[in-house]
Amino acid sequence: MFCPPLSLAEVQARHPNALVEREPDPAPAPPLSPDALEVVYCWLRHIGETDLQAGTEFIDGLARDPEQLRACFEDVVRLGLADWPDDQATATDTGIEGTAKAICSRCTHWTPDRINPAGGIGRCTIEAPASKRIGALWPSEGVIHCTRFQEARP
């Protein structure tokens, strides 16, 4: 390979007896499942990727390499953008099997915002990965999956 790449005419001029053939296009990548695509889209939104061609090439690369796809899933879980219940979990650092359906504002680890406790966003005192999702710490009835959820006693 030449850097920068040479045209076909330039290669033939340098090597007049060479037989130059075009490489065949790679076979189409196997399609990702809709759930896997949603996770990958979540990752692309998180990193701010807006270029359609770059996103398509990234997804194609993940579809061709299961190890890269698994690494992407692990990053998404580590960043708290997604979570997998039970046997689908890729990294559980709590030792608790599965994940609990939770509402952050009902957890013992949730504290309300000091400036506007009645309507403000709270915070997770243990910084659970699930708490990093947008909207998780709002005082609402939105259900999330959190491996560290502990129901607050009334």
User: Could you tell me which residue, 24 or 58, shows the higher pLDDT?
Assistant: 58
- Per residue in 96-138, pLDDT (tens digit) is 334 456 777 788 888 887 776 666 677 888 888 777 776 677 6
The ranges assigned to domains in the chain are: 28-86, 100-146
pLDDT in tens, 62-105: 998 888 988 888 888 888 777 665 443 444 343 333 445 677 77
Q: How far is CA 138 from CA 105, 117, 150, in A?
A: 7, 11, 17
Task: Please calculate the CA angle 110-153-85 and round it to the nearest 5 degrees.
Answer: 60
pLDDT bucket at 58, cuts 50 / 70 / 90 = very high
Cα separation, 12 vs 142, in Å, equals: 65
pTM over 0.75, yes/no: no
- Cα(2)–Cα(9) distance, rounded to whole angstroms? 13
| 8 A C-beta contact, residue 108 and residue 148 | no
Report pLDDT for 132.
75
Mean pLDDT of 5-28: 83
